[in-house]
Amino acid sequence: MQDSASPAHQATITRFWERYIKIIQKQSFTKPSERWYVLRAQAYIDAHPGMRLKEHQASDLTNYLNALGRRPNIRAKRLAI
């Protein structure tokens, strides 16, 4: 595993976010929505320190979202359709 402070590791992180943002932009979301997706992805990554993204499975995300849904301070946001 690369040292998290190494320039090579930082370059890998930068490339990840650049690719992730391009994918989001292809979905034609509004700018605030794009930022929301980046923040939520970062929160997920931060909740799993020491676990590389390529090691994650669908069950990891499902468990994370289920835990978020059980938080008492989470409230539904109405979406304009």
CA atoms 60, 63, 66, 71: torsion sign: negative
Are the C-beta atoms of 24 and 38 separated by less than 8 Å? yes
Range of the domain at 49: 7-69
Are the C-beta atoms of 68 and 76 separated by less than 8 Å? no
Number of domains in the chain: 1
CA dist., res. 17 & res. 19, Å (int): 5
Structural domain contains residue 27: yes
Identify the helix (H) or strand (E) that includes residue 7: helix 7-26
Q: What is the pLDDT along the chain (81 residues), one digit of tens a residue?
A: 556 678 998 999 999 999 999 999 999 888 888 899 999 999 999 999 989 999 999 999 999 999 998 888 876 665 554
Structural domain contains residue 81: no
